[in-house]
Structure 1
Amino acid sequence: MATLCKPSVSVPEHVITLEETLGLARRRHTDHPQLPLALRLIENTGVRTRHLVRPIEETLRHPGFAARNKAYEEEAKARVPAVVEEALRNAGVGASDIGVIIYVSCTGFMMPSLTSWLINTMQFAPTTRQLPIAQLGCAAGGAAINRAHDFCTSYPESNALIVACEFCSLCYQPTDLGVGSLLSNGLFGDAVAATVVRGQGGTGVRLERNGSYLVPGTESWIAYDVRETGFHFLLDKRVPGTMEALAPALRSLAELHGWNASALDFYIVHAGGPRILDDLERILGIPAKAFRFSKATLTQYGNIASATVLDALRRLFEEGGAPHRASGLLAGFGPGITAEMALGRWSSADAVDSADAVDRDLSGVAALTREDLTLS
């Protein structure tokens, strides 16, 4: 059964704090009639620091879509390989053991995908399958886990590599002055993450079921308006309330599996903003500490789009993981409005090895008993 191993996550060296973000907003939008509302919304996100691939002075200038996209490619090629190498080490596999690379990103565009470049430069086999996903936004982290699960279920002798590369700061649009855009300017951050889903063995989340759910009639709530200047992010004011529709989908998936979504051992959920987590706590009756990993990612890095779920999972690993066979939920939310959800149990390789050893011993005892009975 497919096992989701420990992710590797890297954030850029340029840091902007909440105080600096608020100060910039005040200086750049002094006469904005809704500035007080935007400032209050930014403060309420819970984000304290974010990381940017370029210094803030350069980020605030818009050199054009072509230059922005070139910067995306340069930064991806400079930053992704080290994260991939660490993810492979975490999983105890090599590049030659990978059967598919699933690359998710919504903040830049390359064709061929970065998957081709990775195969050519990092000694992946030329037979490695490629699955780039560009249009699921923040939900793509969950979708990548689910597609890796599907792949390893079909090819249990193989492994899947997931790479999430999000440079949200390269999508900054200085002329977008709506409240939603101003809020986004104080919410999103940059990060690169990678993880391996092993078809066999490994320590991590043993994936058991996955599912998707799209809230009907909401495709315009989170969107890109693509113009000459690049991607212009559109955020509907109704988005924060989407858990009213998505929480029942989480509950239904768990019930299909014979589980209670309110009584699981761990939760790894995309933290697009604090209300998402607050509403899930309320609707599902989950204690606030259950989302401590997602909240830590939001506080320290901001919303890092598809990489958010992987960073929250990394924090679970670094806390020491969960007890063997502990049950958990992973979920990413994004444009559509879409939820990509997975259920699994924590699996420790040591515990599995011990269980296998016990099974072998018991089998040996049974065989010996049969032999004794035969001889007698």
Structure 2
Amino acid sequence: MPTNAYVNAIGTAVPGHDIHPAFVDWALRRFDDVRDAKLFQRMAERSGIEHRWSVLDPTQSGGSPVARGGFYAEPVLPGTQARMEVYAQAAPRLGIAAIDALRAKQDLSGITHFVVASCTGFVAPGIDQIIARAIGLPPSVERLLVGFMGCYAAVAALRSARHIVRSDPDARVLVLCVELSTLHLTETRALEPMLAMLQFGDGAAAALVSADPAGLRLDAPFATTLPDSAELIEWAITDQGFRMHLSGEVPGRIAAALADPAIASAVTGGRDVAEVGAWAVHAGGRSILDAVERALRLGPEALTASRSVLARFGNMSSATLMFVLADLIDGARIENGVALAFGPGLAAEGFGFSSA
């Protein structure tokens, strides 16, 4: 029988600067159309988000990055080089904070592999090398860097760790997702991109995956791409950061896809939806969670963990799903769980899981 792989423990970290209220105030002053401003305010109030955290420092007076003296205060926003300089310093620090949180729960000796997912920055040597050196991993540790996949990159990272452990039962895989989404504020007065930026915050999560039967067992993965949807989520590198396009059609397209019995069956591993004991759905936004709940006809408590993460942290790209799993791993025993995330493509990826 193949070896099972388990997420033994998860540690999480966010920066200390809550930028959500300041962003909402800033955005409301930028709309030329009063109707757009009113709609944005209504959507912000209904977003289900209470806090989003940023690695960008407060101003000397305690203001946000968009305040006078902040990173985004100038009429011309910082270029991609300036943003990547911040990423090169802040991403390793935040990633190490998540690993330290994991180490407080789990012995991290004997790491053989290091899998890192990060979609919000680039630097070479990569943050996998920078962090490995900083935390004292031996040079012999095998590294994998998953980049620019978007919000479902955590699935790719954990799936890769599962494959490693199943092929080498002695492997101890350190998995890290670290995302600095707030480095990518873009100049706009349009409603749709403002609503997209309303969702995102910074965060990091680290997990140990091994054959030790503790925590959550990682079961079979799944992946699918929704037809005729490639233009709905786009992530482009520009001279002023990475520009996200998140179409308002995404929730409806997700709901329509999950209503297809074939896709729903792929997501649940062939089980009836009622047999799924827990859901870890990427908290990409309230409308996305609502679409999943509606399409699969889930009960009102099914996505409690995802909605809680959204409220406390916003959408942290790939790290978000790991935060949801972190809440579930410390909760009640789980049978037949499903993890599900969406991203550019429009793709849906995930895996089954259950308590060890």
Do both share a fold (TM > 0.5)?
yes
SS, match of residue 218 in structure 2: strand
Q: Deviations over 1:237-279 (max 9, x none)?
A: 2112232354246632356x45323321111110111122222
- The answer to whether the 8 A contact 2:8-2:216 is kept is yes
- Please tell me whether residue 68 in structure 1 is matched to residue 83 in structure 2: yes
Could you tell me which residue of structure 2 aligns to residue 329 of structure 1? 338
Which residue in 1 is equivalent to 2:287?
275
Q: From the superposition, tell whether residues 252 and 234 of structure 1 become closer, same or farther in structure 2 (CA, over 3 Å).
A: same
Rg bigger for which structure?
A: 1
Q: Write the deviation string for residues 114-172 of structure 1: whole angstroms up to 9, x where unpaired.
A: 11112222221222222111121111112211111111111121022111111111000
For the pair 1:43 / 2:52, whether they are aligned, the reply is no
User: Structure 2 CA distance, aligned partners of 1:167 and 1:250?
Assistant: 32
What secondary structure sits across from 1:141 in the alignment? helix
* Contact 1:240–1:273 (CA under 8 A) maintained in structure 2: no
Counterpart-to-counterpart distance in 2, 1:6 and 1:207:
12
In the alignment, the residues of structure 2 paired with residue 66 and residue 250 of structure 1 have an alpha-carbon distance, to the nearest angstrom, of 41
**Which residue pairs with 2:61 in the alignment?**
none
Q: Which moved more, 1:220-229 or 1:68-77?
A: 220-229
Q: Deviations over 1:331-354 (max 9, x none)?
A: 12111111121112211xxxxxxx
Question: Is the contact between residue 99 and residue 206 of structure 2 (CA under 8 Å) also seen in structure 1?
Answer: yes
Confirm whether residue 176 of structure 1 aligns to residue 179 of structure 2: no
Question: 1:242 and 1:203, CA in 2 relative to 1: closer, same or farther beyond 3 A?
Answer: farther
Of 108, 122, 126, 1:93 maps to 108
The structural deviation recorded for 1:316 is 1.6
Equivalent residue runs for 1:10-25 within 5 Å: 10-18=13-21, 20-25=22-27
Q: How many Å separate the matches in 2 of 1:83 and 1:270?
A: 19
- 8 Å contact 1:59–1:170 — kept in the other structure? no
Q: 1:86 to 1:17 in 2, by over 3 A?
A: closer
The reply to whether residue 210 of structure 1 matches residue 221 of structure 2 is yes
Matches within 5 A, 1:338-349: 338-347=347-356
1:52/1:189 contact within 8 Å kept: yes
* Within-5 A mapping of 1:214-229: 214-229=225-240
Rounded to whole Å, the distance in 2 between the matches of 1:16 and 1:293 is 22
1:89 Cα offset (Å)? 4.5
Higher helix share: 1
What SS does the corresponding residue of 1:231 show, helix, strand or coil? strand
- Structure 1, 183-192 or 33-42: larger mean CA deviation: 33-42
1:146 is matched with: 159
Matched, 1:133 2:170: no
Rate the CA distance shift 1:277–1:250 in 2: closer, same or farther, 3 A: farther
What is the deviation of 1:202?
4.2
* 1:299 partner amino acid: A
Report the TM-score, using the length of structure 2 for normalisation. Answer: 0.88
Letter in 2 for 1:149: R
The 8 Å contact of residues 6 and 313 in structure 1, kept in 2 or not, is answered as no
DSSP-derived class of the 1:5 partner: strand
Distance 1:64 1:254, change over 3 A: closer
Cα contact 1:215–1:245 (8 A) shared by 2: no
Contact 2:118–2:179 (8 Å) recurs in 1: yes
Q: Give the superposition deviation at 1:304.
A: 1.0
Amino acid at match of 1:282: R
AA in 1 matched with 2:36: Q
Q: 1:100 to 1:177 in 2, by over 3 A?
A: farther
Over the matched positions of the two proteins, sequence identity in percent amounts to 28
Q: CA deviation at 1:22?
A: 3.0
Pick from 293, 297, 309 the counterpart of residue 321 of structure 2: 309
Matches within 5 A, 1:102-117: 102-117=115-130
| Cα RMSD for the two superposed structures | 2.0
TM-score after normalising by structure 1: 0.84
Structure 2 vs 1, CA of residues 238 and 258 (structure 1 numbering), >3 Å: closer, same or farther?
A: closer
Are the aligned partners of 1:139 and 1:339 in contact in 2 as well (CA < 8 Å)?
yes
The runs of 5 or more residues in structure 2 that have no matched partner are 59-63
Q: Distance in 1 between matches of 2:213 and 2:122?
A: 33
Q: Which runs of 5+ in 1 are unaligned?
A: 348-376
Hey, what's the Cα distance between the residues in 1 that align with 2:97 and 2:161?
A: 21
SS in 1 for 2:88: helix
How far the C-alpha of 1:292 sits from its partner, in A, is 0.6
For these two proteins, the number of residue pairs brought into alignment is 338
Which position in structure 2 is the counterpart of 1:123? 136
Secondary structure at the aligned position of 1:343 is classed as: strand
Aligned: 1:290 with 2:302? yes
